[in-house]
């Protein structure tokens, strides 16, 4: 009889992350669903908790391979890869790693806004290429402070972004399901109205089916030729085809994007855009925060296996 | 008898900027000191105000070519190229363009801090190169929010930087000639003490002889291997040789630099550094702010020529 109460699922785990989980609990590793199916029935029956990382869908079919599974502990705040409904009907709890990554994601959102407005990526290349030394100057860029920003989704990350931008003397607007307690920020009941009122549109929605293409073609058009879109949520939350067209045709001014549909296989049309700052989904990608996320994932697993309260349950 | 009360001095002026000045006042243009010397005596005698832009030294020898000069109106907040003492002894007033550029300079300072910490320039290149699509990942980067920053020079720009960084939950330290009224920020009476206490050292000094190499080799060493230097003031305010050595040898973690000695002919050793974000002195380089600077320069010239009070006198 095997006794490996923990299943580590996902090729996205680094060796160091796997080592830490395995040091805490007897564990078996599977890169994908297929690797679970080939585990022995004994081994599968011994699994009580699943440590998950990545974006590959995890649904009922996988859960049914693990008859004693009680917890899916996600690494990350966004758990749209996990079918929570499938988990709930099977009595499986789901946890995520909220809050510990808010600061980093907000920092990168603001960083992309400044980098896009101030043409920083090209500026860096300009210096290094020696072109500056010849006396040639880059075109002037665009002032960010004092302009108007719209936050789409005023959850914890959205608020952390807005709080930072307030220090840049920006006028804060937002759209959320309902009006929230704020320091005088302007509420919009729909995203098109928000887009038409602002210079920068920052998407801080949760992912998943409910928010698919939430920032629609119409919202992108409403933003207009001075508008800049920043997305640090999920590629799915915006109509990516409409976004690419708007960037290619300059019907919006630019974008700062940390997330994409089908990432890491980004639509190659993005590569040629000179009005977008592109980042490889590294909103939470700091040493400090990834460690905090791993610790919170492990704390949830340990809580479940020792029968104490989960720290950050989702369902 | 010519009547051109305005001399426009400096090849740095754009055509548009020259046009605006010439539309307001009868003007003669000189790219450099040598071009003034060849103007007729009549023409030189008619000059009452000088519009200045650039970094070429402007001292008594040039002023003596213009016997009726009463004002040197600098384009920019930093007027270290102008010998103010030489001007004062000749009864010539000097003006600059403060405040209108504070927001932009502060934005770029914060942008360079985030870009350096979060490896944004390489992140953008990583996506565009297609490397991300192959599944390769960049190394994790570094959390900025919540760390400690030291501002060297708590003038108006230094304060605008500190106010923004406070919204990133950073612990603010500063060094200035004397302790200032602040919201609880920590004062250091010398720059080495400041450097040894912080993660990020942001230089917001005025330029000129008094601050040459103010951030010394010793201060750079005190910052240590986790330290990041940001300079948005003048290349002269730091020991650049010591800075390059520290960056090459990783005795500090990195830098974000908008200013350099001998710019735009930057020391070519900077080009190869992968731990620095380099910008071509574009702290104030936005359409909005450059226009505001030009307007303030012109307003000072018009005030002088019409005998009303200067808006932003320096001496």
Judge: B145–A117 Cβ closer than 8 Å, yes or no. no
Q: What are phi and psi of A166, to 5 degrees?
A: -60, -35
Q: Which of A114, A121, A137 lies at the smallest CB-CB distance from B110?
A: A114
Angle at A108 between CA B232 and CA A315, to 5 degrees: 160
pLDDT of residue A3: 87
Which of A11, A102, A143, A170 to substitute to test the interface with B, most B CBs within 10 Å? A143
Judge: B286–A128 Cβ closer than 8 Å, yes or no. no
Chain center to CA of B311: 21
Mean pLDDT on A113-140: 95
Cα separation, A274 vs B58, whole angstroms: 39
Q: Is pLDDT of A310 > 90?
A: yes
Q: Are A109 and A256 in contact (CB under 8 A)?
A: yes
Q: Are B2 and B46 in contact (CB under 8 A)?
A: yes
Which member of B173, B188, B234, B290 is catalytic? B234
Q: Which tokens in the block code for residue A226?
A: 């001075």
Judge: B106–A145 Cβ closer than 8 Å, yes or no. yes
Place of tokens 């731990």: B275
Secondary element (H or E) of residue B55: none
- Check residue A119 and give left, alpha or beta (phi > 0: left; psi -120 to 50: alpha): left
Judge: B279–A123 Cβ closer than 8 Å, yes or no. yes
Judge: B118–A138 Cβ closer than 8 Å, yes or no. no
Residue among B228, B238, B104 nearest B161 (CA): B104
The count of other CB atoms within 10 Å of the CB of residue B183 is 8
pLDDT of residue B3: 87
Which of chain A's residues have a Cβ under 8 Å away from the Cβ of B32? none
pLDDT of residue A137: 85
Q: Is pLDDT of A2 > 90?
A: no
Cα separation, B42 vs B271, whole angstroms: 48
Instruction: Tell me how close the Cα of B24 comes to any Cα of chain A, in angstroms.
Output: 23
Q: What is the pLDDT along chain B (315 residues), one digit of tens a residue?
A: 568 999 999 999 999 999 999 999 999 999 998 999 999 999 999 999 999 999 899 999 999 999 999 999 999 999 999 999 999 999 999 999 999 999 999 999 999 999 999 999 999 999 999 999 998 889 999 999 999 999 999 999 999 999 999 999 999 999 999 999 999 999 999 999 999 999 999 999 999 999 999 999 999 999 999 999 999 999 999 999 999 999 999 999 999 999 999 999 999 999 999 999 999 999 999 999 999 999 999 999 999 999 999 999 999
The count of other CB atoms within 10 Å of the CB of residue B64 is 12
Judge: B278–A167 Cβ closer than 8 Å, yes or no. no
Instruction: Tell me how close the Cα of B59 comes to any Cα of chain A, in angstroms.
Output: 23
Q: Is the four-CA dihedral B98, B104, B105, B107 of positive or negative sign?
A: positive
Which of A163, A279, A290 to substitute to test the interface with B, most B CBs within 10 Å? A279
Q: Is pLDDT of A1 > 70?
A: no
Q: Is the four-CA dihedral B64, B65, B68, B74 of positive or negative sign?
A: negative
pLDDT of residue B267: 97
Q: Is pLDDT of A136 > 90?
A: no
Q: Which tokens in the block code for residue A10?
A: 């996902």
Cα separation, B77 vs B97, whole angstroms: 5
Q: Are B166 and B112 in contact (CB under 8 A)?
A: no
Which of chain A's residues have a Cβ under 8 Å away from the Cβ of B120? 108, 111-112, 115, 120-121, 277, 279
Q: Is pLDDT of A85 > 80?
A: yes
B55 assigned to active site = no
Q: Are B52 and B75 in contact (CB under 8 A)?
A: yes
Which of chain B's residues have a Cβ under 8 Å away from the Cβ of A128? 270-271, 278
Cα separation, B116 vs B111, whole angstroms: 8
Judge: A145–B169 Cβ closer than 8 Å, yes or no. no
Instruction: Tell me how close the Cα of A96 comes to any Cα of chain B, in angstroms.
Output: 20
Judge: B118–A111 Cβ closer than 8 Å, yes or no. yes
- Note if the bond before A264 is cis, omega within 30 degrees: yes
Which residues lie across from A51 on neighbouring strands?
A: A8, A73
Q: Which of the four CATH numbers 3.40.50.720, 3.40.50.970, 1.10.1380.10, 1.10.3210.10 does domain B102-278 have?
A: 3.40.50.720
pLDDT of residue A275: 98
Every domain of chain B with CATH number 3.40.50.720 lies at: 6-98+287-305, 102-278
**Higher-pLDDT residue of B221, A3:** B221
Q: Which of the four CATH numbers 3.10.20.600, 3.40.50.720, 3.40.50.300, 3.40.1390.40 does domain B6-98+287-305 have?
A: 3.40.50.720
Strand order in the sheet with B186-188: B186-188, B171-175, B148-152, B200-203, B228-231, B254-257, B276-278
Instruction: Tell me how close the Cα of A3 comes to any Cα of chain B, in angstroms.
Output: 33
Place of tokens 């920019």: B76
pLDDT of residue B137: 85
pLDDT of residue A207: 92
B156 CB contacts (<8 Å, ≥6 apart)? Answer: B98, B99, B102
Cα separation, B238 vs B124, whole angstroms: 29
Q: Are A118 and B111 in contact (CB under 8 A)?
A: yes
The count of other CB atoms within 10 Å of the CB of residue A265 is 13
């Amino acid at each position: 009889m095997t006794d490996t109460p923990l299943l580590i699922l996902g090729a996205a785990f680094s060796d160091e992350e796997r080592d830490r989980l395995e040091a805490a609990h007897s564990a078996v590793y599977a890169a994908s669903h297929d690797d679970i199916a080939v585990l022995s029935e004994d081994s599968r029956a011994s699994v009580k908790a699943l440590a998950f990382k990545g974006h590959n869908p995890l649904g009922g079919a996988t859960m049914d391979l693990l008859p004693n599974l009680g917890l899916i502990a996600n690494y990350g705040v966004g758990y749209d890869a996990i079918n929570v409904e499938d988990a709930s009907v099977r009595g499986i709890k789901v946890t995520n790693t909220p809050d510990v990554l808010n600061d980093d994601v907000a920092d990168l959102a603001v960083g992309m806004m400044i980098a896009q407005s101030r043409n920083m990526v090209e500026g860096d290349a300009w210096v290094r290429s020696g072109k500056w030394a010849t006396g040639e100057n880059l075109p002037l860029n665009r002032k960010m402070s004092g302009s108007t920003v719209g936050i789409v989704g005023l959850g914890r990350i959205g608020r952390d972004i807005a709080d930072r931008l307030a220090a840049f003397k920006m006028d804060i607007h937002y759209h959320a399901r309902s009006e929230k307690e704020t320091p005088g920020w302007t509420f919009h009941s729909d995203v098109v109205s928000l887009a038409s009122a602002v210079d920068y549109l920052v998407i801080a929605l949760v992912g998943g089916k409910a928010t698919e293409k939430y920032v629609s073609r119409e919202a992108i058009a409403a933003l207009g030729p001075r508008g800049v879109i920043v997305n640090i949520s999920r590629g799915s939350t915006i109509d990516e085809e409409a976004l690419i067209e708007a960037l290619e045709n300059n019907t919006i001014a630019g974008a700062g994007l940390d997330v994409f549909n089908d990432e890491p296989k980004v639509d190659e049309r993005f590569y040629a855009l000179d009005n977008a700052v592109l980042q490889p989904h590294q909103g939470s990608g700091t040493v400090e925060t990834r460690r905090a996320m791993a610790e919170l994932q492990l704390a949830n697993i340990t809580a479940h296996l020792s029968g104490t309260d989960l720290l950050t349950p989702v369902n």
